[in-house]
Structure 1
Amino acid sequence: MKLSREAAEYIEDFGAPQLHVAFAKEEMHQLAGKFPEELIAFMSAFGRAVFQDGQIQICHPDDQNSVLTLIFGGDETFSHQNCHAYAYSAFGEIFCWHRDYGLTIVDIIAGSVTCRLLTKNLSRDANTDRTFITPFGTDADFYDVNDKPLFKRAVKKLGSLQIGECYGFVPALALGGSPELQYLKRLRSPEHFAIVAQTNDFNLVDVEGYGVSKVVRKIG
């Protein structure tokens, strides 16, 4: 399958992944029906992959299934069966595709789930399927207690992230940790995300503008 125009432009602007490993044949079969064709083409081209020096990684949906199960619980709209992870950021935003509502972003540290088509009550159209590229090329950094970005300093201190890894605070922020470089570690993302997910209550959030959002309802 050919990359969409948006995906090709992303590669042109930001470069190919620094690391990537192809999905196994059976893993490829599992993508069908979970994602739009443009997203499947993007995932198929690289498999599990590290982009932007590790700020963003492509994952297989199975990699984060257990995390989403913990977060969604018995929710009326979201479940690990209709909302599947395809990428995540170095600090814990999981980018998913919902069968009915498209791009969905789960922020495990903030305890938020954002899904624009759902909260804005927008109709699904052909262009919506291309919003999967939104997380790529955006600022996926995390800011410390002094409001200074952490990513480059984390790379310098801890080394670049490998496939399946993330940067995580130990102890987790909800357990008394502090957003400072000295508390960051390189960790396996599924295990760390699952730990953090269990420390937070999650809410569906409507983003009304830059830095302005409101809670719609509790998730689960």
Structure 2
Amino acid sequence: MLENFKNHYHAEANNILASEELINEYKEKVPKLLIDIWTTTGLGKYNKGIIELINPKDYESNLWTWLGKVVENYTPFAITGFGELLYYRKLTETDEDICMIDIQYRKIETLVWSMESFFDDFLTNDEDKKMWLREDLFVEAISEKSNLQNGEVFTFVPILAIGGAEEIDYLQKGSACVYQDLVFQMTN
């Protein structure tokens, strides 16, 4: 299981395995597959941070802010290298999907219909990586601005919605949580 993901993505050395407390809190809210990743390769950056698996507790308030309400069956689980927030929706006992809040353009996109498809198909598809993860800009940013720490993303300054550009000269590093909140306030 997750052979494509394992072949394409590598956990950074400072990733942290999920605690028993975290596992117990989320084991009924997210698929076992995600719990397995949390307990084997951990929370943190993958491939230098083009994707980061996050502690949901750290990002729930941002998710509720962007959605405008608390939705108990939605769980934030990852961020992109540019701060987009990915969350899991448990729709029914058998139906689920993965959504992304595109903070730059205030859009919510449904990306795939299962957690397995997210890891094995979406994250390994070249077109999806270029479009949704801004892979080319990310690789250039890592090369010019060095690696990201856990919880850190490349920020557009100014943000794209108010005049920034998807170019290296418009990038800085910053806290993902703070950036998501700041972009929400500036574009609301």
Q: Shorter-chain TM-score category?
A: 0.7 to 0.9
Distance 2:158 2:22 in 1: 33
Which residue in 2 is equivalent to 1:206? none
1:164-187, Cα deviation, whole Å (9 max, x unpaired): 111001232234433331221111
Task: Give RMSD over aligned pairs.
Answer: 2.4
Q: Which runs of 4+ in 1 moved over 6 A?
A: none
Distance 1:142 1:16 in 2: 18
| From 46, 56, 76, the counterpart of 1:85 | 76
Kindly state the Cα deviation for residue 35 of structure 1 after the two structures are TM-superposed: 0.5
Which residue in 2 is equivalent to 1:52? 47
- The answer as to whether partners of 2:11 and 2:42 remain within 8 angstroms in 1 is no
Give the aligned length.
177
1:20-78, Cα deviation, whole Å (9 max, x unpaired): 1122332222221110112221222222221122211111111211211111113xxxx
One-letter identity of the residue aligned with 2:157:
V
User: Which structure: larger Rg?
Assistant: 1
Kindly state the Cα deviation for residue 80 of structure 1 after the two structures are TM-superposed: 4.4
Q: Secondary structure at the match of 1:163?
A: coil
Which residue in 1 is equivalent to 2:134? 142
One-letter identity of the residue aligned with 2:89:
H
Range 187-196 or range 40-49, more displaced: 40-49
TM-score by length of 2: 0.81
Distance 2:169 2:105 in 1: 20
Kindly state the Cα deviation for residue 135 of structure 1 after the two structures are TM-superposed: 4.4
Which residue in 1 is equivalent to 2:184? 197
Q: Secondary structure at the match of 1:177?
A: coil
More helix by percentage: 2
Structure 2 gaps of 5+ residues are none
- The answer as to whether partners of 2:105 and 2:161 remain within 8 angstroms in 1 is no
- The answer as to whether partners of 2:51 and 2:78 remain within 8 angstroms in 1 is yes
Matches within 5 A, 1:1-220: 5-6=1-2, 8-11=3-6, 13-19=7-13, 20-74=15-69, 79-100=70-91, 101-115=96-110, 128-133=114-119, 134-138=121-125, 139=129, 140-142=132-134, 149-200=136-187
Range 14-23 or range 81-90, more displaced: 14-23
Identity %: 23
1:108-142, Cα deviation, whole Å (9 max, x unpaired): 1121112368xxxxxx8xxx452342443341543
Distance 1:135 1:92, change over 3 A: farther
Distance 2:38 2:184 in 1: 25
